[in-house]
Amino acid sequence: MDVLQAIKERKSIRAFKPDQVPLDLLKKILDDAMRAPSWANTQPWEFAVVTGKKLKAIQDAFVKRGPSAMPGSQSEVPRPYVFPEPFASRIKKMQIKERRGRTSELSKEEMEKKMLINFTNYGATTCIYLLMDKSYYKQEKGINVWGMYDSGSAVQNIMLLAVNYGLGTIAQAMAVVYPDLIRQEIDIPQDKCLALGIAIGYPDWDNEVTKDFRDREPLDTMVKFYGF
Ligand SMILES: Cc1cc2nc3c(=O)[nH]c(=O)nc-3n(C[C@H](O)[C@H](O)[C@H](O)COP(=O)(O)O)c2cc1C
């Protein structure tokens, strides 16, 4: 598969089959993904790949604590709380499409259901946690965003390579909202920041939600060319 096809086919998958992704394939994907560029080749990313009983225990613990505990979430990479325009409108547009044209707010029950599915990694059999050294991420002058750029490139590589092998992925901020529950199951040192979860598995193409495809703003809105 060429890069263009992988970029065009990649999308966030929100329903997975129960089939296990072979360990060798995960190793190959991660090894190749780490060809990503980084500041002076610092390679600030680390990954913890979790499956089986360990992942199930994390998912169960998240579900047990529940979405109502979220405002007190211990996310080690803080989420944005303010969405100025045009970002708020883009979220709204996405939500209306996702709700098949329905414009009313989600009820509390619907919202909680959505969160709980997130907590089960949408049924994916494997979750790849992105880790970053806290001393590199949090520096005297503030957050070191450069390390996250670098890691974002590696994460995108994972997602594109997954497409190449018939796999699906979804980046999930929601998968790391309770880092203490993850640390109860796997040995993540306190000096590493749990930055993101990437659910990976075989997409359940029979499920309606895997047919969703999210639009992008047109090129002219986002890009200006100079000196041509
Ligand atoms: C850093 C990051 C975190 C995300 N967290 C979540 C999440 O917790 N739950 C979720 O359903 N989608 C999550 N997404 C997926 C985005 O909603 C999705 O990428 C966006 O709507 C565009 O859709 P597409 O990936 O299908 O093109 C996340 C994406 C990124 C890049």
Residue 5 has pLDDT above 80, yes or no: yes
Pocket test for ligand 1, best of 129, 170, 209, 216 (most atoms within 8 A of CB): 170
Cis preceding-peptide flag for 86 (omega within 30 of 0): yes
For ligand 1, the distance from its centroid to the CA atom of residue 174, given in whole angstroms, is 10
pLDDT confidence tier of residue 72, bands split at 50, 70 and 90 = low
Helix (H) or strand (E) holding 50: strand 45-51
Give the residue from 150, 139, 168, 174 showing the smallest Cα distance to 67: 174
Q: Note the pLDDT of residue 10.
A: 98
**What does the pLDDT read at residue 70?**
80
pLDDT at residue 19 is higher than 70: yes
Predicted confidence band at 68 (pLDDT cuts at 50, 70, 90)? Answer: confident
Does residue 149 carry a pLDDT above 70? yes
- Residue 174 CA: nearest ligand 1 atom is 8
Average pLDDT, the chain: 95
Residues 76-130 have pLDDT tens digits of 998 888 999 999 999 999 888 888 777 777 788 888 999 999 999 999 999 999 9
> From CA 132, how far away is CA 143, in angstroms rounded?
12
| Contact 163 CB / ligand 1 (< 6 Å) | no
Q: What pLDDT, on the 0 to 100 scale, is given for residue 105?
A: 78
Q: Are 148 and 207 in contact (CB under 8 A)?
A: no
Q: How many other CB atoms are found less than 10 A from the CB of residue 141?
A: 5
Cβ neighbours of residue 183 closer than 8 Å, sequence gap 6 or more: 190, 194
pTM: 0.96
Tens digits of residue pLDDT in 150-196: 999 999 999 999 999 999 999 999 999 999 999 999 999 999 999 99
Q: Which residues pair with 138 in a beta bridge?
A: 143
Instruction: Supply the pLDDT for residue 197.
Output: 98
Atom from ligand 1 closest to the CA of residue 94: 21
The confidence score (pLDDT) of residue 99 equals: 80
Of 145, 160, 172, 196, best ligand 1 pocket probe by most atoms within 8 Å of the beta carbon: 172
- By alpha-carbon position, which residue is closest to atom 31 of ligand 1? 171
CATH topology for 3-222 is: NADH Oxidase (3.40.109)
Q: Give the closest residue to 62 by CA, choosing from 116, 103, 109.
A: 116
* CB 170 less than 6 A from any atom of ligand 1: yes
Question: Is residue 172 in contact with ligand 1, taking CB distance under 6 Å?
Answer: yes
Give the count of beta carbons closer than 10 Å to the beta carbon of residue 147. Answer: 22
Q: What pLDDT score was predicted for residue 104?
A: 78
Rg of the chain on CA atoms, in Å: 18
CA gap 101, 86 in Å, rounded: 20
Instruction: For ligand 1, say whether the CB of 209 is within 6 Å of any of its atoms.
Output: no
